[in-house]
Amino acid sequence: MDSVTCIWNVWNGQQKKARAFTYHNAAIKDVKWSPEGQFVLSCGYDCSSRLVDVEKGSETQVFLEDQAVTAIKFHPHNSSLFLSGGSKGLLKLWDIRLGKVVHQYTRRLGPILDIEFMVDGKQFISSCDVSSSNLSENSLIVWDVSREVPLSNQDQTMPSPTWSPTAFTVNWIIYYNLLSVYAEAYTCTCVRCHPFEPSFVAQSNGNYIAIFSTTHPFRLDKYKRFESHGVFGFPIRCGFSSDGEILASGSSDGNIYFYSFGSSNLLKKIKAYDQPCVDVAFHPLFPNVIASCSWNGEVSVFE
């Protein structure tokens, strides 16, 4: 909220800030490491995404929009590409090399809450707030970003994509076919793909995590879901362990909940905060280390 991006030295006993970047001039909504770890990409309510060289501490590029930018995600196999979503429901694919949008995905959506590439990078999932439009079929949409064949099973006319010659430096054709996958009248605050299995999960404001297939037609698993934690309108997020066996979730009661992905059973819960625990993330290399953060701004690391 103070428009500062902080890089923390996790293993320093004094819990020092390794870097603090003040390039935004409004609250920051999302921040991501580049796949190589050299850069940090952040976005926020100043209608921009900003790329910073962490070692040099210098801002290298600014990507401006006409909406507050609420979610960003690097392409899993091409670090020169990233997605952004914002308060007007617009989704854009940016090419860092060109410094501009190479494609824009347009539909009547509410503010974007989260975006997630599927593991192969050929599709991505968007989650949006549908409370204003009351179109629950738009809450989760799978977008095709690599094929020319339409995926949509809805009666919609899709406009043909237009390209400038330089856009082909992306090296793959983008066609924004879409498919609604979640018909329940709940907003989903978070979407996460399983690292290995053909499935993804969505954190629902119905106080459960739903499971979907990542293969067409992206069906909801009606017989399995993760429930014990609470959402209750908070931006609660979840995350998979690196081996995909455990799904951890924050909760409105301040606990971290650990579920077995295979059985969906609750394995354990840890009391982390007095206020809601809004996000959790497993360490990518050490499976017994998890980071979490609280509604009051506190960040914690657990073993």
Residue 31 lies in a domain: no
Residue 170 pLDDT more than 50?
A: no
Task: Specify the pTM.
Answer: 0.87
3-state helix, strand, coil in the chain (%, to 5): 5, 45, 50
Residue 135 pLDDT more than 70?
A: no
Output the six-digit token pair for 20.
Answer: 């603090």
Residue 194 lies in a domain: yes
Residue 155's pLDDT band (cuts 50, 70, 90)? very low
Residue 164 lies in a domain: no
Query: Is residue 217 reached through a cis peptide bond, with omega within 30 degrees of 0 on the bond before it?
Result: yes
Residue 141 lies in a domain: no
Residue 189 pLDDT more than 90?
A: yes
Query: Tell me, what's the pLDDT at 132?
Result: 54
36-74: pLDDT as tens digits: 999 999 999 999 999 999 999 999 999 999 999 999 999
Residue 203 lies in a domain: yes
Residue 146 lies in a domain: no
Residue 266 lies in a domain: yes
Residue 10's pLDDT band (cuts 50, 70, 90)? confident
Residue range of the domain that includes 290: 187-303
CATH at 250: 2.130.10.10
Residue 116 lies in a domain: no
**Domains in the chain: how many in total?**
1
CB burial of residue 229 (10 Å; 0-12, 13-18, 19+):
buried
Asked if 251 and 257 touch (Cβ cutoff 8 Å), the reply is yes
Backbone torsions φ then ψ of 253, nearest 5 degrees: -90, 5
Residue 94 pLDDT more than 70?
A: yes
Average pLDDT over residues 176-188: 67
